[in-house]
Amino acid sequence: MELDTGVTVSTMSLAQFKKLCPGIQIRSMSVKLKTYTGEIIYPVGTSITSINWRPNCYRKESRCYIVKVLTRNYEDDLQKLLQEHSDVISDELREIPNCSYKFRIKNDNVQPIFYKPRQVPYALIGKVEDEIARLERLGVIEQVTHSQWGTPVVQISKKDRAIRLCAAYNTTINNAIDTFNKMSGGLVDSLPEI
């Protein structure tokens, strides 16, 4: 049951009433309720319920109107939407087609920043190596032999015990590039946290 000081009557769904008030009688009635937006609701019935708030603080008998709530299966709608737009929505990591990106350094005085790799817990070394190999295979990252810039990477454990690698660009290159860089003619703000 929801209490709302702005409403004229209190309502509860039939399913919730059966769950929370088993054995309490619902009296039939011929009343119609009108919502704030004008819809008409015909209650299944009414019941007198006891409202208690904190022991010995507040207790009141109140009429509650029991209504059938029509629920919609939004899961089906979501699956339909995902299927209709599967060309742009995907669980797979992939390249953005026809997109190039160029960084503009703020000025010539910016010095490259290089952080050495963070220590990986021994128990996660295999998972980190596997994830790096996967990202390399997908073309998301590529191995280099030397770089003046080095960003630390942190491994985050997911619920399914896999890991996600996150680069801390805010400690290195994000501070050195122009706020607005061009990405295929559009503007983007620095590097995303991946």
Per-position DSSP letters for 104-160, written without gaps between them: -BS-TTPPP-B-PPPPPPGGGHHHHHHHHHHHHHTTS----S--S-B--EEEEE-TT
Q: What is the mean pLDDT of residues 118-128?
A: 89
State which amino acid sits at residue 53.
W
pLDDT confidence of residue 189: 47
The percent of residues in the chain predicted with pLDDT above 70, rounded, is 79
pLDDT confidence of residue 77: 78
Rounded distance between C-alpha atoms, residue 27 and residue 68, angstroms: 14
The percent of residues in the chain predicted with pLDDT above 90, rounded, is 5
Q: What is the mean pLDDT of residues 79-98?
A: 76
Alpha carbon 17 to its chain's center: 31
pLDDT confidence of residue 132: 92
Q: Specify the higher pLDDT residue, 78 or 191.
A: 78
- Lowest-pLDDT range, 11-20, 70-79, 158-167? 70-79
Q: Specify the higher pLDDT residue, 66 or 49.
A: 66
pLDDT tens per residue across span 50-73: 777 777 766 677 788 888 875 556
pLDDT confidence of residue 90: 72
For the chain, which domains are there? 10-67 (no CATH), 99-189 (3.10.10.10)
What is the bridge-based pairing of β-strands 58-67 and 10-13?
parallel
Rounded distance between C-alpha atoms, residue 109 and residue 42, angstroms: 73
141 burial class (0-12, 13-18, 19+ CB within 10 angstroms)? middle
Rounded distance between C-alpha atoms, residue 182 and residue 101, angstroms: 7
Tokens matching residue 105: 């350094």
Q: What is the mean pLDDT of residues 145-150?
A: 89
Name the band, by pLDDT with cuts 50, 70 and 90, for residue 105: confident
In terms of DSSP H, where are the helices of the chain?
14-20, 74-84, 125-137
